Amino acid sequence: MPPSALKAIRLLRKAEAQLETKQVKKKAREAARALLASGEVSAKARQALRLYVGLDGNQWRTYEQIGKLMNLSHERVRKLLLPSKIVLEAQLAGKVPWRRVTEDNT
């Protein structure tokens, strides 16, 4: 196969992967909005989830970035988000933009 064809295939696969990632993030944001609207999340966890998924119009944030904004440690942010992430993973059949929560890394 000519090198230009291989390059075109690589670029197509990269574009498809980026589109899929964008769609997964969009679905996760929508599910997070629904979870927040349900009122099942505590105030601090609600704020952390809003910041994590970027519901304020910004990009997705890391635990470190959320910790700085909320004056919390990385570990505390992780613990605040864990129950919400488990619920979202169940709702989205495991198709989430973060590394899946398992018993090994909880």
At the second CATH level, the architecture of 3-91 is Orthogonal Bundle (1.10)
Both tokens of residue 30?
Answer: 């929508």
Q: Would you list the domain boundaries of the chain?
A: 3-91
pTM: 0.81
pLDDT, tens only, 33-92:
999 999 889 999 999 999 999 998 879 999 999 999 999 999 999 999 999 999 999 999
Q: How far apart are CA 63 and CA 33, in angstroms?
A: 19
CA within 13 Å, CB half, 88: 29
Nearest to 31 by CA among 15, 16, 17, 52: 52
